[in-house]
Structure 1
């Protein structure tokens, strides 16, 4: 068994696609129209056949309270692995990405948390030991 697709709820799929591709550097994998929304996924350019991230519309009534509670507590909705948290922090800061947690050493890992502009906090994670 393996994870094939995971998702983040987004306020606006096209805005999310722009952020996740143009700013973060992911690549669009699928954009299948499904009425008012799409099955819209992105993948890492380093692993184009790997796990897809579904940019899922946040319209379900349970989504807003869930995301609001996570944001209020500073909890990221998901984590992306990177080789160098400090380098990603510098790269994305220069692109205007707002970080809620600068790179922080946590023993065997270093993490940073940023706002994806679509309603979520996302964490970068680097194994350091």
Structure 2
């Protein structure tokens, strides 16, 4: 058994696609129209056949209070691995990304938390 798909709940799929591809550097894998929404996934260019991230519409009524509570408490919705959190932090800040947590060493792990512009906090992490 392996994980092949994970989701992030986004308030605007087109805005999310731009952010996740043009800013974070993922690449679009699937874009299938489903009425007003799309089955829209991105993958890491380093692993194009790996785990897909579904940019899932956050239209269900339970989603907004859930996402609002996570953001209010500073809790990331998900986490992405990077080779160097400090370098990625500087690169993304240069692109105008807002961080809610600067790179912070936590024992063997360094993390930073960014705002994905679609209602989520996303953690970047690396070990070492």
TM range (shorter): over 0.9
Match in the other structure for 2:46: 46
1:25 is paired with a residue whose SS is: coil
Kindly tell me the number of residue pairs found equivalent between the two proteins: 128
Residue 114 (str. 1) matches residue 114 (str. 2): yes
Match in the other structure for 1:32: 32
| Cα distance between partner residues in 1 of 2:67 and 2:48 | 28
Residue 15 (str. 1) matches residue 15 (str. 2): yes
| Cα distance between partner residues in 1 of 2:61 and 2:51 | 27
| Cα distance between partner residues in 2 of 1:80 and 1:125 | 6
Match in the other structure for 1:90: 90
| Cα distance between partner residues in 1 of 2:74 and 2:121 | 7
When the two structures are superposed, what TM-score results if normalisation uses the length of structure 1? Answer: 0.99
When the two structures are superposed, what TM-score results if normalisation uses the length of structure 2? Answer: 0.99
Match in the other structure for 2:99: 99
Instruction: Please give the root-mean-square deviation of Cα atoms over the aligned residues, in Å.
Output: 0.3
Residue 44 (structure 1) shift? 0.1
| Cα distance between partner residues in 1 of 2:98 and 2:82 | 18
| Cα distance between partner residues in 2 of 1:62 and 1:121 | 18
Residue 26 (structure 1) shift? 0.2
Residue 16 (structure 1) shift? 0.2
Match in the other structure for 1:79: 79
**Stretches of 4+ moved more than 4 A in 1?**
none
1:86 is paired with a residue whose SS is: helix
